[in-house]
Chain A
């Protein structure tokens, strides 16, 4: 029982970390990024490549991969997505367009990774040392990843609530039109938020690659989990991300332990639908319209 709860908490922490970037990209930049998981897997591959090819510690690799994620996402937003933002007349139109565009992107990134690495599963062994905590045996790499995830989440929360830039990001998330009235450059802030989301997903990719096997085509599952967490928690809400992520992780590990490991996805969707039928805007979301 305690083991199941521990595994669930760790898993939930990871889900929350994965979803934080998406909640920025979708909540602030209004880009529903379906290629999100592909970027996560790309970061995992980058970490794998750095570790096996250059013997670079993944934790140091973070220092390379995170800025790269930020830069690539910024470029992507500027080149590919800004035309869509300008073209869209309503928020709904932008949503549909961005879904379709990032959908294409998903195939492109996946195709590139498939041609580089093939369809095989990859993993590497880093800090796979058993540690005992509260009488349970846990792997050190998982613990470190969890700790870093908590640190990243806390830093992001403080940055969003305590700094000027963070405040303007939140303002755009609440109302892009009104944000313009208080002299916030909405397009720039959106680009920054999208890039920040890219940096977060890169970090998540590296952390996950330390203890999970991954393949070029496993991004879709991550996208799906992240989407579920983001929508369930309330779009653009970090606390919602955390709570929804933990709920998802806990329910998954409890079901896997006590019912059947083959039913985790069913539990995810049941939880997702259950929450949305009661609160359509998500746990911490405010109702629109």
Chain B
């Protein structure tokens, strides 16, 4: 087993090196595609971090993504880039704590409803503030960040989300969350502080979403609230994570990669029918693949394991 683990570690190091060197060798189109893939991989994995173990369906991705993007739009030219990212992180975390504290005590359903409207609510608040106080609606983003920089930052973020996810799964917090996902009442009786555990994980997941938004912001040169708070991102992320299987750390990424490519293809070929096709894919996943690709893989392994050991005994 340890040899296998070593091989996996070596393979992932090699893979990372290839990914890190990728921008040197591909043209602008493929770089943009790779950015899209990384963006959704991080978003879907971050979504799965929270929603996988707790089974709370969160539709708030756009809200955090948009806050990150809009922070850059407001502060991008005033402060240095790392400072902007730091501020975006703080704002995202604060927002997640407020939202989490006020909604995660409620049942899962109320949480869905609230996150359903959260992006719209924040968009309305931002518009209201911009129209009434600052009197600018729509901002230009002029920062010295190239496509390659965006790619590398997203790659670092992707590594971070996997490492942190792996660490959480092995920590007391991860264990507590799995119990909460199975049965919240049992978790409470075990002496787990349910609210703290849920809010902590929600905040971690939200920070990643905010950072993705902040990093992606320089790709648009012009940002207004309706661009930053585009609700489809929430929906796409949920579909991706479900296709992959949200109960495993690497599941959402498995869904994010094929679906990003598919949406890219659809947007180019059938721009008008993309909503319809997205709905059909969603239904197919819910009915045919309730546990995602990861679930299929688990079934497959469960079916083949005993046979293999059986043969081993015979030999």
- CB within 8 Å of B: which residues of A? 32, 34, 80, 83, 87, 92, 95-97, 99-101, 103-112, 114-115, 220-221, 223-224, 227-228, 231, 260, 262-266, 268-269, 272-273, 276-277, 280, 289
- Check: B117 CB closer than 8 A to any chain A CB: yes
Closest Cβ neighbor of B102 among chain A residues: A273
**Judging by beta carbons under 8 Å apart, are A105 and B108 in contact?**
no
* Residue contact B279 to A107, C-beta cutoff 8 Å: yes
Please indicate the chain A residues that have their CB under 8 angstroms from the CB of B132 in the complex.
260, 262
Q: Least Cβ distance of B48 to chain A in Å?
A: 15
Closest to B127 in A: A262
Whether A104 contacts B117 by the Cβ 8 Å rule is: no
Contact of B283 among A108, A110, A265, A269 (CB under 8 A): A108
Assess the A104–B55 pair: CB atoms within 8 A: no
Contact between A262 and B128, CB atoms less than 8 A apart: yes
B273 touches A103 (CB 8 A): no
Q: Let me know if B112 and A111 touch, CB within 8 A.
A: no
Which residues on the B side are within 8 Å of A106 (C-beta)? 279
- For B105, list chain A residues within 8 Å (CB): 277, 280
Q: Tell yes or no: B91 within 8 A of A by CB.
A: no
Query: B261 on the interface (CB 8 Å rule)?
Result: no
A111 B110 Cβ-Cβ under 8 A = no
Contact A101 B286 (CB under 8 A): yes
Closest to B281 in A: A104
Q: Kindly list chain A residues whose C-beta atoms are within 8 Å of the C-beta of B107.
A: 280
Q: Across the interface, do A265 and B117 meet the contact criterion of CB distance under 8 Å?
A: yes
Say yes or no: A115 contacts B272, CB within 8 Å. Answer: yes
Contacts of B112 on A, CB cut-off 8 Å?
A: 32, 99
Q: Are A104 and B286 in contact (CB under 8 A)?
A: yes
Q: B182 CB to closest chain A CB, in angstroms?
A: 11
- Once the chains bind, are B279 and A110 in contact (CB under 8 Å)? yes
Interface centre among B113, B231, B283 (most CB of A within 10 A): B113
Give 11 A-B pairs besides A99-B112, A231-B110 with Cβ atoms closer than 8 angstroms: A32-B112, A80-B283, A83-B287, A92-B55, A97-B290, A100-B238, A101-B286, A104-B286, A107-B279, A224-B116, A227-B116
**Do A224 and B276 form a contact, CB below 8 Å, given A100-B242, A262-B128, A263-B128?**
no
**A residues near B277, Cβ cutoff 8 Å:** 111
Which residue, of A87, A96, A223, A263, has the highest number of chain B Cβ atoms within 10 A? A96
Chain A positions within 8 Å of B117 at CB level? 224, 228, 265, 268-269
A24 → chain B closest CB, angstroms? 16
Is B286's CB under 8 angstroms from A100's CB? yes
Measured CA separation A263–B123 after assembly (Å)? 11
Contact across chains for A96 and B283 when beta carbons are under 8 A apart = no
Known: A112-B276, A115-B276, A273-B102. A265 touches B231 (CB 8 A): no
Which partner residue on chain A sits nearest B125 by CB separation?
A: A266
Given A101-B283, A280-B106, CB of A107 within 8 Å of CB of B128: no
B103 at interface, CB cutoff 8 A: yes
Which residues in B have their C-beta under 8 angstroms from that of A34?
116
Q: Determine if A273 and B55 form an interchain contact, defined as CB atoms under 8 angstroms apart.
A: no
In the complex, which residue of chain A has the Cβ closest to the Cβ of B99?
A: A273
A-B pairs, top 9 by smallest CB distance, nearest first, are: A111-B276, A107-B279, A104-B282, A108-B279, A111-B275, A104-B283, A262-B128, A100-B286, A227-B113
Secondary structure dominating the interface of B:
helix
B287 near A101 with CB under 8 A, answer yes
A–B Cβ pairs within 8 angstroms, 27 of them: A32-B112, A87-B290, A95-B109, A97-B286, A97-B290, A99-B57, A100-B286, A103-B235, A103-B238, A104-B286, A107-B278, A110-B276, A111-B277, A223-B116, A224-B116, A228-B113, A231-B110, A260-B128, A265-B120, A265-B121, A265-B124, A269-B121, A272-B114, A273-B103, A277-B102, A277-B105, A280-B106
Contact A96 B279 (CB under 8 A): no
Tell me the complex Cα distance, A280–B103, Å. Answer: 11
Nearest-CB distance from A178 to chain B (Å)? 21
Q: Which of B73-117 contact A (CB under 8 A)?
A: 102-103, 105-110, 112-114, 116-117
B-chain residues with CB within 8 Å of residue A109 when the two chains form the complex: 279
**Are A32 and B109 within 8 A (Cβ)?**
yes
- Which of A92, A104, A265 contacts B280 (CB under 8 A)? A104
Decide yes or no whether B13 CB sits under 8 A from chain A.
no
Q: Which A residues are CB-close (under 8 A) to B120?
A: 220-221, 224, 265
The interface bits of chain B over 36-66 (1 if a CB of A lies within 8 angstroms of the residue's CB, else 0) are 0000000000000000000101000000000
Q: Does B296 sit at the interface, judged by CB under 8 A?
A: no
Which residues does chain B contribute within 8 Å of A273, judged by CB atoms?
Answer: 102-103, 114
Q: Is the CB of A104 within 8 A of B279?
A: yes
Q: Cβ of B106 and Cβ of A276 under 8 Å apart?
A: yes
**A263 CA to B105 CA in the complex, in Å?**
25
**Cβ B127 vs Cβ A107 within 8 A:** no
B131 within 8 A of A: yes
What residues of chain A lie closer than 8 Å to B116, measured between beta carbons?
Answer: 34, 223-224, 227
Q: Quick one: CB contact mask for B190-219 with A, threshold 8 Å, 1 for yes?
A: 000000000000000000000000000000
Instruction: Give the nearest-CB partner of A261 in chain B.
Output: B128
User: Which residues from A are CB-within-8-Å of B57?
Assistant: 96, 99-100
- Within 8 Å by CB of B109, from A87, A101, A104, A231, lies A231
Q: How far is the CA of A92 from the CA of B116 in the complex (A)?
A: 18
Closest-by-CB residue of A relative to B123 is: A265
* A235 to B, closest residue via Cβ: B109
User: Which residues of A sit under 8 angstroms from B125, Cβ to Cβ?
Assistant: 263, 266
A260 to B131, CA, bound (A): 11
Q: Which residue of B lies closest to A32 (CB)?
A: B109
- Collect the chain A residues with CB atoms within 8 Å of residue B128's CB: 260, 262-263, 266
